[in-house]
Amino acid sequence: MKRLHTLKTQSKVSILLLLSSLLLLTACGTPPSNDSERKPIQSLLPKNDPSTPSHPPAGSSTTTSNTGNTGNTGSTGNTGSTGNTGSTGSTGNTGNTGSTGNTGNTGSGNTNPKPKPYELKPLAKTTFVYAKRVREGVSHLYAYDIDTKKTWLISKLDDAVDVRPRLSPDRKWVAFYASFRMSAGELNSDFPMEAVWLVSVDGKTIRRVTPLIPASYTKASAPSLYSRSLRWVRWAPDGKSLWFYIHEGWTDSDGWIQIIRTSWNINITTGKIKSFWGGSGCTMVNKVTPQRNGSLILAQLQDCVQTRDGFYLFDANNPGQAPVRIQDPSGNIKLEDIVTYPGWFGSSVYLNATAIWNGSHQREEGIVGYNTKDGTFFGVYKKSQGFGDFYPSYDGKVYVYSNGSETDRRLFMCDWRTSQQNCNPKEIVSGGVNDYVSW
C-alpha cells in the first residue's frame, strides 16, 4: 500500500498558514423428451447458439479529484486586518485561517472535498488474458485486445509458474494455481500442494488466497504412491469466491489405482473453505464450472453409487433441488468432457463430444453446445477443422481457438459481432506456445 503526502505552506500578512492533507490510495430445462429418430445436430454456426447472456459489469475507474490552488484563497485572509483583533482575525470569522466565506483550508469554496480513492482499472470487455510459455514449466501472463490488436505483459510471475489464468468477473484480478512462493510450512510438508493466487491486471499486486492445506496422511501412514494436487480454478459469479478441486490418488494393497476428487469453494477475503458434494456416493466430483452471470453450476460426477455418472447442472440458489443430467436422448451425441474455459455466459454450456454431424453418417469428435433452458444441442465445430481448445467471449460473439504443436501454439479468432456468416479464423497471437485464454 502506498501513501502519498502533500505538504504546502504559504505565509501571508505575518500569519503562517499550514495546510496538510493525507491521500490514501487503496489498490485496492428440462431436456427434450426421448426421440427414437436419430437426427444430426444443427449446423456449425454461432447463430444457432440460443444463448442470450447479459453483459457482466465492466466496472469503472475513478480519478483523483483536484483540490484546486489551495494557497490562492489565502488572500481572503486580508479581511482579518479589519477585525482589530490581531492574531485572531475574527472579523468575518477570518484571520488565522483566512477562512472568509468559510474558505481557506482547501481554497475550494464552502467545501473540503476528499479525493476519491484509487480504483484498479478493469480490463476492457474486448480484452482477454492468456499464458505464453517461455520455457518448460514457465509461462508469463499476457493480455490481448481484439479491437486495438495490442498485446502487453501483465506479469512474469517470478519466472516460476506455468500459469493457467482465470479472469475475475469484474475484470480486475487474475486467479491461478501453482506451487508458487511456498511457505516454510509447505516446504517441510510431507505432501505439499499447489495454492490459489491472485494477481492484479496491472501486475502490481500478487497475493495468496488458499491457506496451507495439510494432508490427512504422513509419509509413514500414506498409501503406496500417494499424491495430491489442486486443479481447475474457477471464479464464482459474484467474484467473491473461487471454485477448485483437490485430486488425491494412490495405489492400494491389491495394486489398483484409487482416485478421489472433491470440489471446494473458498472466499477470497476470509479464506473460508467449504466443500461441494454434488452427488451421493460419487468418489469424483470435479470440474465444477459456474455460470458467470447466473446461479447454475455444471459439474462432472464419476464413480457414483446412487446416481448415474455424467454431467449435471446444479442450481446454487436451490441447493435442495435435484440436479439436471445433460444427455442426448437420440443417442447421436456422446459427451466426453467439459470444455476447458472458465465458466460460461448466458444459457449455453459447451462440451467435448463425439457426434453425428450434418452431412455425415459417422461419429466425429468436436465441440457441442447445450441450451440449459430448452435442453437442445447445437454444433460449434468439428476437431477435423484443425482447432484445439475453444474460448468464447463474454457475449458469445467472438471465439478464440488455440492451434499448433507443443512448441508452436497460436491463437486464432472468429468474430461474429457484425456478421453471422461462416468465419475464416484469423491468427491474432503467434510466437511460442500461447494458450489458456480467459475472458
| Per-residue model confidence as pLDDT tens digits over 56-78 | 333 333 333 344 344 444 444 44
Average pLDDT of the segment spanning 426-433: 91
Which pLDDT band holds residue 361 (cuts at 50, 70, 90)? Answer: confident
Q: Indicate whether 25 pLDDT > 60.
A: no
Pairing of strands 151-155, 173-178: unpaired
pLDDT at 199: 97
Average pLDDT of the segment spanning 45-60: 33
pLDDT at 281: 72
Average pLDDT of the segment spanning 113-135: 85
Average pLDDT of the segment spanning 235-252: 91
Average pLDDT of the segment spanning 359-382: 85
> What percentage of the chain reaches a pLDDT higher than 90?
32
Q: Indicate whether 219 pLDDT > 70.
A: yes
Q: Indicate whether 11 pLDDT > 90.
A: no
Q: Which residues of 94-110 are buried (b: 16+ CB within 10 A; e: fewer)?
A: bbbbbbbeebbbbbbee
Give the C-alpha separation, 129 to 146, whole Å. Answer: 11
Q: Indicate whether 170 pLDDT > 90.
A: yes
Higher per-residue confidence, 40 vs 148: 148
Average pLDDT of the segment spanning 247-268: 90
Which pLDDT band holds residue 312 (cuts at 50, 70, 90)? Answer: very high
Question: Mean pLDDT, the chain, as a whole number?
Answer: 74
Closest CA relative to residue 130, chosen from 388, 396, 341: 341
Q: Indicate whether 166 pLDDT > 90.
A: yes
pLDDT at 142: 97
**pLDDT digits 0-9 by tens, 114-124:** 656 668 999 99
Give the C-alpha separation, 76 to 98, whole Å. Answer: 6
| CB-neighbour burial class of residue 153 (10 A; exposed 0-12, middle 13-18, buried 19+) | exposed
| CB-neighbour burial class of residue 115 (10 A; exposed 0-12, middle 13-18, buried 19+) | middle
Q: Indicate whether 422 pLDDT > 80.
A: no
Q: Indicate whether 223 pLDDT > 70.
A: yes
